[in-house]
Structure 1
C-alpha cells in the first residue's frame, strides 16, 4: 500500500509502498478514501525536518534536553547512535482521515466491516491507503455526510476541545485569535452553538474566508482593533478568548489580555509564545488554560490503545465523543466545510500538496485533502502449515526471519547476528509495516512480509526471531514453533501462565529448537563465575540493579505490556536460577512504590530453592542517572565472588582474590547470537549448552509470573508448575504429587537442539 513519509533528516516528502497493517486486538483497519493535511502541525513538522541539526535543536529544545539526559545515562556513543537512527528512520505523516472499514480486531464490537468511519491519531490515522486505528479513535460517519468532509473530524475535535476548555455558557462573548483551519472551524462551531463570536487574523484572505461563511471577523492589523471588537459587543469584553494561531510570537496572548473582560478565561489551542503581560493579566485576574489536542483520552495509552473507557459521569466529552459531535454537526449542516474550498491532491502527488503549505504570493490554503483510489485490499490470510513434530537441522546458509525490528533488535541483535558466517536475513514483519519496511531494507532482508502469517506461510526461514512488543511474545512464539520452525524469543516468553503453557505445549510437540533472550547467561563474566563455583553447593546470592526511573508514559507501563517486573526483573530472576543448582520453590516480591505489577518500578524479590540456596534481587527503578547498573555477589562454601557491571569478576578463594577485567562490560549478546546459530544448525554447543537451554528459560518466566502474584497479593507464592505442558517441560512431577521435588530436568524435545540439560 502507498503511504506518505517524511525524512526527519532532510524534510523530504516521499510516497512509498509498505505492507498494510494487521488487525490487532482492539483496532479497526480502514481503507482510506480521504485524509486531511493539517496546515499548522504538519507544516511545522516538515519545516523542522528541513532544518540543519542546529536548526532542529533551536526548534525543539525539549528534545535537546532529552539528548543531554541520554548522554548522562548511556554515554555519548550510544546517544549518537540513537539520534542517528531517529534521523534516518522515516515518519508517517497525518492524523485525520476517513474511509471504509475492511477488518476489525478482537474486542471491537460497535464497528463493523463495510462501515464508513472517521479516524484520528498521529501514527494511526496516517496519510496511507490502509490504516489500523485503535477503536477509541474511530467513529461512524452519519448518513448524509460525505466521506470527504468526515476527514475534517479530527481537526474539528481540536477546535471543539478548545471550546470545552473555555467553559462558556449560553450567550457568552468569545473571541478567536487565529483563523487558520482550526480557527475557522472554531468560529463555525461557536455559531452552531449560538455564541456571540468574532474572529481575528492578520491575513486578510483568512478574514474574508470567515466573512464569506457569514461569520464576524476583523483584520489584526486594523487601527483601533481592540476598540472595534469591544464596540461590536457594545463596550463589553470577551468572556473567553480562544487562541488558535501558530506563531512563536506572544502577540496573540498579549492581545487576548486586551480583549478579555475581568476574570475571563484565555484558552491556548495553537502553538504560540506564552508570555502574558502582568499589566493586563494581573489587573484583570485572567485565567490561562490549555486545550490538549482532541480532548480527554489524548496521550493516555490506556484509553487510546487499550480501549479502556472513561466514566461518563466524570469525563463526558472524551476525544471520541468530540469526533462524533463534529460529524453530527456536519450532518445537520451547521458546519460548512465545502465553503473552506479545500485543495485536493491524489496521494501520489503528496509532495506537491506539502509544497502548497509554503507561503506564496497567492496566499495560503486553509485546507488540503489527499484523495485515495479506494482499491487497496488486505491480503487474504494465508494458511500456515503445521510442523511435522521432527526437526531436521538446515544445511548450508541459515535463513533467519524477524517479527519486529525495534531499537534493541537493530542496535544489538542484528549487528551481532550479521557477524556470524553463513547467516542470511530472509523476511521481516511486524507492527504497522513502516518499521519493518525501513529496517528490512537497511539490514538486507530479502522480503518484507505483508504480515506475520504470510511470513510464516512462506516457509522461507530456518529460524524466526520474535522481537516485538512484550504482549505479543507468547502468541508469536507458539505460532512459530507449531509451524515447525526454530524459535528465538526475546524476554519475556509470556506475560501470563496461560501464555507460557501454550509456548511449552508448542515446544514439546514441534520438535523444533528454541532459545530465549536471556543474554546474561552468555556473558564472559558469568561463564567464568560458573566455572569458579563448587558444583552443587548451595548459594547465597544478592543481585542489586539500579535500573533508573522511566517516564510515566513509557510503553512498559501500558497494562498490556506487563510492566518492569515481567519485562526487566525476569533477567535477574533468570540469572539467579542459572547459577543455582536447585529448583525454585518459593518467591516473595515486595514493591517499594507500588503493588501493581504493571506500574511498580522498584521491587525486591526473594527466592528459595530446593537445594537450600537463596537469592535476593533488589531492583531500583527510581534511581538517578549515572549510578552503576548491576552488582552480583555470591557466597558459598569456601568461595565468594562479585560481578561488577560485567566489567570485572573478583573471586575470593583459598585466602586469595583474583580479578578478571572485561573490556566494555559485555553482557553476552555476541555469544548469544553465535549460540543461536549453533542451536539451529544442531552443532555441539560445548560450554554454551546450559546457557541455551529452553526449559530453564521457561522456569525463569514462570517464576516471574509468580513474583507478580506475590507482589499484588502480598504473600509468599509457591513456584511449582500446575499445568500439563509446563509440568512436562520443566521436568516436574504431576500437580499434587510433589511438583517441586528435585527430579531431573529434561533437555530439548526429541529431535530438537543439541542443548544439554541445564540447572535452573
Structure 2
C-alpha cells in the first residue's frame, strides 16, 4: 500500500505538489487541509482527494501518514510541529521557518517524535543532483573554492505574500534560499566544515512595502566562498557555477521546474577539455515526497538529500542575510 498524504494549504504550490504526487511511487493524495474548509473541499475535489477539512481536522485523523506544508512562510513552523506531534511525517516547503531559533525548535520536535522532517528543496532530489554530489565529492574539479549562483524573477504585481512583511515576504526567503542552500550543499559535498558558516558581505534594496526586493551576499563556508544573488523584481539566471582547483561545473538550469528536474551541466577543465554531465529527468516534487516516505518506512528522521545540519546552517545564513539589510 502507498502512504496517505495530506496537503496543508490550498495555494499554487500545493496544486503543483498534488500534481507531482500522481508521479510518486510510495504515496498518494488522501486529504487536504486549509484555513477554510470550503477551500480545502474545492482543492480536494479538483485533485481527487477523499478527505477535506481545516488544518486541525486533518491533523487529528488517523488515516494520514505524511503531511506536505505549502502555506506562507510564517506558518510553516507551527504547522510542522503540530503535524509531528500528531504522528505525521513532514515535508515542509522552504524555508522551514523564518529564523534559526524556530528552525531548531521544529527539528527538536522531529528528533523527539522520531518522525521524518524534510525541507522541500526539490532540486536536491533525483538522478542529476545525485550525479552532481558524486562529482563534487569525488574531486572531479579538485578542491572547491568558489560557488556562484543566482535566481530572480519579475513579479507581476507588487502585492500579495511576496511583498507582505507580515508573512515574511521578500526575495531572500522566497528565492534566495535556493542559492544559499546550493552553496551549503556543495560545500558539504566537498568536505568543508559548516560550523563557522557566515555572511561576510551583504547588500540589497528594501522596497516601499518593507520587503527586500533584490539582495546579494558573499558567504564563507569553510574554505569556500559563495556569491549569491536574488530578486523578485528582476529576472536573473537560474544558474550556478561550482569552481574548483582542477575545473568548474556550470549548471545553466540548476533549479529545474516544479514539473521536471534538471538534467545537464558542463564540466570544464583547465586543459580545455569538456565533459557533459547528464541524467534522466523526473518530477522533483514526486521524488522529494518519495524520499520522505522512504525515511518513514526505514525509521529514519532525515533524508540524505536534505540533512538537518544543512537546514540549520541555511536558516542561520538566511537570517543573517536579512538582518544585514535592516
Per the TM alignment, residue 707 of structure 1 is displaced from its structure 2 partner at its CA by: 1.4
Q: Which residue of 2 aligns with 1:601?
A: 213
Normalised TM-score (structure 2): 0.84
1:416 aligns with 2:20: yes
State the 1:476 CA deviation.
0.4
Within 5 A, what are the aligned runs for 1:262-273? none
- Provide the C-alpha distance between the structure 2 equivalents of 1:667 and 1:613, rounded to a whole number of angstroms: 31
**What are the Cα deviations for residues 390-412 of structure 1, in whole angstroms up to 9, with x where unaligned?**
xxxxxx3311112113211212x
Q: CA deviation at 1:502?
A: 2.3
> 2: distance between equivalents of 1:553 and 1:658?
44
Shift of 1:461: 1.1
The 1:421–1:620 alpha-carbon spacing in structure 2 relative to 1, beyond 3 Å, is: closer
Native 8 Å contact 1:595 1:711 kept in 2: no
Counterpart pick for 2:240 among 632, 636, 642 = 632
Task: Show the counterpart of 1:693.
Answer: 307
Matched, 1:459 2:62: yes
The yes-or-no answer on 1:486 pairing with 2:89 is: yes
Partner of 1:533: 136
Q: Is 2:318 the counterpart of 1:704?
A: yes
CA deviations on 1:676-734 (whole Å, 9 max, x unpaired) are 231222289xxx9531423322321232122111222xxxxxxxxxxxxxxxxxxxxxx
Is 1:580 matched with 2:187? yes
Alignment match, 2:31 = 427
- Is the alpha carbon distance of 1:660 and 1:476 closer, same or farther for their aligned partners in structure 2, counting shifts above 3 Å? same
Q: Distance in 2 between matches of 1:667 and 1:570?
A: 21
Instruction: Note the 1:380-399 alignment, pairs <5 A.
Output: 396-399=1-4
For 1:659, the equivalent position in structure 2 comes to 276
Gaps of 5+ in 2: 255-262
SS in 1 for 2:95: coil
Partner Cα separation in structure 2 for residue 524 and residue 597 of structure 1: 40
CA distance in 2, matches of 1:486, 1:590: 36
Residue in structure 2 matched with residue 723 of structure 1 by the alignment: none
Alignment-derived partner of residue 553 in structure 1: 159
Which residue matches 1:614? Answer: 225
| Counterpart contact for 1:588–1:710, Cα < 8 Å | no
Q: Note if contact 2:220-2:226 (Cα within 8 Å) is conserved in structure 1.
A: yes
- The 5 A counterparts of 1:35-50 are none
Matched with 1:504 is 107
Q: Say whether the 8 Å CA contact 2:24–2:286 is kept in structure 1.
A: no
User: Following the alignment from structure 2 to structure 1, what is the Cα–Cα distance between the partners of residues 26 and 152?
Assistant: 38
Name which of structure 1's ranges 581-590 and 436-445 shifts more when overlaid on structure 2. Answer: 581-590
Q: Contact between 1:589 and 1:711, CA under 8 Å: does it hold in 2?
A: no
TM (normalized to structure 1)? 0.38
Q: Distance in 2 between matches of 1:598 and 1:530?
A: 37
> Structure 1 pair 422/494, CA: closer, same or farther in 2 (3 Å)?
closer
Q: Which residue of 1 aligns with 2:289?
A: 673
Which of 524-533 and 562-571 deviates more?
524-533
Against the structure 1 CA distance between its residues 499 and 578, is the aligned structure 2 distance closer, same or farther, given a 3 Å change threshold?
Answer: same
Mapped contact 1:522–1:667 kept (Cα < 8 A)? no
Larger radius of gyration: 1
1:214-238 CA-partner distances (Å, limit 9, x unpaired): xxxxxxxxxxxxxxxxxxxxxxxxx
Per-residue displacement from partner, 1:611-643 (whole Å, max 9, x unpaired)? x1110002243325xx6x312111112121100
Distance 1:550 1:574, change over 3 A: farther
Query: Could you tell me how far apart the structure 2 residues matched to 1:565 and 1:444 are?
Result: 35
The structure, 1 or 2, with the larger RCO (C-alpha pairs under 8 Å, 6+ apart) is 2
Matched, 1:566 2:173: yes
Task: Using the TM superposition, give the Cα deviation of residue 588 of structure 1 relative to its aligned residue in structure 2, in angstroms.
Answer: 4.0
1:492 and 1:699 map into 2 onto residues whose CA distance is 12
Inter-CA distance 617–422: structure 2 relative to 1 (3 Å threshold):
closer
The answer to whether the aligner puts 1:623 opposite 2:234 as a matched pair is: yes
Q: Secondary structure at the match of 1:673?
A: helix
